[in-house]
Chain A
Amino acid sequence: MAENLVNLTIDGVPVSVPNGTLIWKAAQMAQIDIPIYCYHPKMKPLGACRICIVQVEGQPRLTTACTTPVAEGMAVHSRNAVASEARAAIMEFLLINHPLDCPICDRGGECDLQDFAVAYGRGQSRFIEDKKHAAKAVDIGREIVLDRERCILCQRCVRFGEEYAQEPGLIMIERGVKMEIGTFPDQPYDSIFSGNTVEMCPVGALTSKRYRFRARPWELTATSTICPHCPVGCNIKADVRLGREVVRFRSRENDDVDDGFLCDRGRYGYTFINSLDRLTTPLLRKDGELLPATWDEALAAAAQGLANVAHHGAGAVQTIVAPTLTNEEAYLLGKLCRTVLGSGNITAPHGNFALAADYPELNSAAFNDLDGANLIILIGANPYQHQPVFDLRVKKALRGGAKLLLLRDETSDLDEFAAGTIELDVSNLDEALQAATRHPLAANDGRIVVWYDQRILFANPSAGIAVLRNLVGQLTRVGQPPLVGPLVHFSNEVGVREMLQATRLRLGQGGSQAWATRSQAGSGTQAIYIVGTEATVPEDCQFVVVQDSFLTDTAKRANVVLPAATFAEAAGTYTSTEGRVQRLRPAIQPLPGSRSHLDIIIALAATLNERFDSASYEQVFAEIAANVPLYNGLTLGKLGTKGMRRPLPSALPASLADLPADAAETLAGVARLWTRSSPPLSRALSSSCSCSPALPT
């Protein structure tokens, strides 16, 4: 390692960096700021803007720090008279045609051009001729507006589409003074990653339609939280204007998860938080009509209604949990059902996968493992639609030399990147997986990473799991088993399932309260408690409690509606599809009149005369860490801002037979409830409450 280090000085500061590092990166390591526009750390250097110009001793001309690799003994000057003069001149050139409409520009206040003009510019332009005028506010896509006057032609957005997302995106049109950003005529830039170009634009040339003119950066307070729209768990900053309104999401770079990019579904999936249709008061059905009520009335009615049927049997009260609830909410809900309502009839209405507690070998892969992989096998997955940022990670790994083997039963957006494809029949998994093990791509040694979409297990969970485990055995190369991970469809599907599993195993099927187990008579669902999701309610169901942010079709059918806060107002933890536990922080206070799911569950339990020991999410998380084996030892402090993967159990259970008796049955039962996968992207963007999946009949 030591011989690969190169020693150089930057502004007199000695630096030792690995061979091949760019001067800009070396300066970053030495905590010396060199301005950049065209360079982006995640993409290849270009050297178009020249603002990073530095002087290297012994070289006749100034050079760009973003394209020049370091060399032994190099002496770089980034702020001596020569470099400063050149940089000021370049800044003057960049500002020649810039309209300087900072007061009306969305970027004003957080603009690199403003910042560097102050830091490195001359302060006054000598240019007194007419500026070049170009089109302003050009509508170039579903989410983006382009202002050609402000553009400094750094080509970051162009290279993002070409190099990083590897899909047709923005392009440079014309050349010379007429050069501009654009698209093919009459072809909008509709990529699900288009929002990233807005974020990486160093000036205000690309602006987001939804954020346009909504706020100035200095009014915003950022909260570090997690995107709730897919199980990748991208890290976001939620920007809140004046403490009231969520106005945008930005990427909070976490190289282990999202590599600093977001998809548009996540980036623009905040509008429903500010919706005027949000419920702000509990509703109670009186004489067939839903009427506003106080919280006390509503909670009392809900508790009474649930308690009335709870003694009809263990399955009398069905609880349906949204896969977007936090771990804490799901845990408390499981606890409420099993200890207070005395019902094990609790479902998360979505797909199926092998839980990490039972099958650690089928949950071993992390997103980072993609980067070092030789072969990536995707089974039935189309991450572009369901886990978009994972799609970017796969493409990045492919650029790094990995090969992609695609097992697919429908066209996938990764088709053109695949080195090999195998037709997949979900009802006959074994055949396709056998074909995969025999595929020439799988013949080489090297790390193999397998990600399977949860939907391949819908048809026959236990058989599917057996086939997957068989695949693990067959793909083991040189004693190294392949890393396998599930691709689920909802943000906290993994966590909710793990919490429900834990409460089932630990607290048992029956309740501890005498009144809950009093009667064994009756079976079938007589009351449903639906939390944060939509579900189809049977006609003969006597009593329905819905806890949601909107008056959904399900809520309209309910006897009691409890207005809940959204993810932006909730605190808790999410477990992503790779098993990373990350913290969700409240960006704003709950809308007046609504309460967080956690508070409602605690209050409902209190109304049912059960005081939970834990009254806050911190306490609930401590309880989870103590009671759920997978989460043993985790603390909120350890999770920090970037989260951590929950440790996998080292001892592998032998087979499905080792599971508690009801586990396999429940898996199958859950699968029956499932008929379709997560909503397609278009629906997710258009529907304000899209994160609630529908429960099919």
Chain B
Amino acid sequence: MPRMFDTVKGLGITLSHIFRKADTISYPEQRRPHPPRTRGRHVLHRYENELERCIGCLLCSAACPANAIFIEAAENDSTNPTSPGERYAATYEIDMLRCIFCGLCEQACPTGAVTLEGETELVSFARSSMVYTKEMLLEPRGTATRGSILAWAAPAPAGADTDLHVPDSRGQFDGAWTTAAAVGKANLPVNPSAQRPTGRTEEPQP
């Protein structure tokens, strides 16, 4: 009677699972760590000199398939700049209800200013409070993290000269280097001679 055995076999599987260690945890008292590439809430990063990485170029909002990002750019006060360069984001808002957490904004950003981080618990009682403003998104002064961009970045080949494609030796982001590889230059010391790119030079290196 094979049919009877099938039932026993099925019950056996059930029984074996009863004694297995449970996969569930009692959230929210217990939490699991997120993988480093988790795409959760956005964070706007700063340089170590507290300047904002965001230059208000609107490329993230252009890349956004959900139209979730609203930015208004403005001109930096040259004596008290908000970001390196001439332009900064005066308003930066992400509507988390519209956002689909695809990460295209992170890819589009020329300075690595916006990354999607591990925080996924985005809840609110009001729709209006789901629009995250720049103040909410910016990391606090004094912190200068790179965020998940490091987890996403493919490592450079061994022995590659990463300075080779920097046309500007000042080491500051002035727009000269606009690929994602350019991030992290604005906090380097301004010292032309120290940062001179390798390549042809006037005299042979000693």
A residues neighboring B (CB under 8 Å): 99-105, 108, 125, 127-131, 136-137, 212-214, 216, 218-219, 242
Query: Whole-angstrom distance between the alpha carbons of A101 and B174 in the complex?
Result: 7
B160 to chain A, nearest CB (A): 15
Interface of B is mostly: loop
B59 surroundings in chain A (CB, below 8 A): 103
Chain A residue with minimal CB distance to B167?
A131
Q: Are B178 and A213 in contact (CB under 8 A)?
A: no
B87 surroundings in chain A (CB, below 8 A): 104, 213
Chain B residue with minimal CB distance to A150?
B175
Q: Are B200 and A216 in contact (CB under 8 A)?
A: no
Q: Are A131 and B176 in contact (CB under 8 A)?
A: yes
A105 surroundings in chain B (CB, below 8 A): 175
Q: Are B58 and A219 in contact (CB under 8 A)?
A: yes
Whether, in the assembled complex, B112 has its beta carbon less than 8 Å from a beta carbon of chain A, the answer is: no
Query: Whole-angstrom distance between the alpha carbons of A130 and B87 in the complex?
Result: 23
Partner of A104, one of B165, B167, B175: B175
6 smallest beta-carbon distances between A and B, as pairs: A101-B175, A103-B57, A104-B87, A128-B199, A213-B73, A216-B58
Task: Determine the interface band of chain B, counting residues with CB < 8 A from chain A.
Answer: 20 to 34
Number of A-B residue pairs at CB separation under 8 A: 68
Query: Whole-angstrom distance between the alpha carbons of A213 and B57 in the complex?
Result: 9
Chain B residue with minimal CB distance to A136?
B86
Whether, in the assembled complex, B133 has its beta carbon less than 8 Å from a beta carbon of chain A, the answer is: no
A622 to chain B, nearest CB (A): 39
Query: Whole-angstrom distance between the alpha carbons of A136 and B174 in the complex?
Result: 11
A125 to chain B, nearest CB (A): 7
A102 surroundings in chain B (CB, below 8 A): 175, 178
Chain A residue with minimal CB distance to B165?
A128
Q: Are A101 and B85 in contact (CB under 8 A)?
A: yes
Q: Are A216 and B62 in contact (CB under 8 A)?
A: yes
Q: Are A101 and B167 in contact (CB under 8 A)?
A: no
Query: Hey, what's the 0/1 contact readout for B57-97 against A, CB within 8 Å counting as 1?
Result: 11101100000001001110000000001110000000000
B84 to chain A, nearest CB (A): 10
Whether, in the assembled complex, B40 has its beta carbon less than 8 Å from a beta carbon of chain A, the answer is: no
Whether, in the assembled complex, B55 has its beta carbon less than 8 Å from a beta carbon of chain A, the answer is: yes
Q: Are B73 and A100 in contact (CB under 8 A)?
A: no
Query: Whole-angstrom distance between the alpha carbons of A584 and B110 in the complex?
Result: 40
B73 to chain A, nearest CB (A): 4
B168 surroundings in chain A (CB, below 8 A): 130-131
A218 surroundings in chain B (CB, below 8 A): 62
Q: Are A103 and B175 in contact (CB under 8 A)?
A: yes
A127 surroundings in chain B (CB, below 8 A): 167
Whether, in the assembled complex, B169 has its beta carbon less than 8 Å from a beta carbon of chain A, the answer is: yes
B169 surroundings in chain A (CB, below 8 A): 130
Q: Are B86 and A100 in contact (CB under 8 A)?
A: no
Chain B residue with minimal CB distance to A216?
B58
B175 surroundings in chain A (CB, below 8 A): 99-105
Whether, in the assembled complex, B184 has its beta carbon less than 8 Å from a beta carbon of chain A, the answer is: no
Q: Are A100 and B178 in contact (CB under 8 A)?
A: yes
Q: Are B85 and A213 in contact (CB under 8 A)?
A: no
A216 surroundings in chain B (CB, below 8 A): 57-58, 62
B56 surroundings in chain A (CB, below 8 A): 104, 213
Q: Are B178 and A103 in contact (CB under 8 A)?
A: yes
Whether, in the assembled complex, B197 has its beta carbon less than 8 Å from a beta carbon of chain A, the answer is: yes
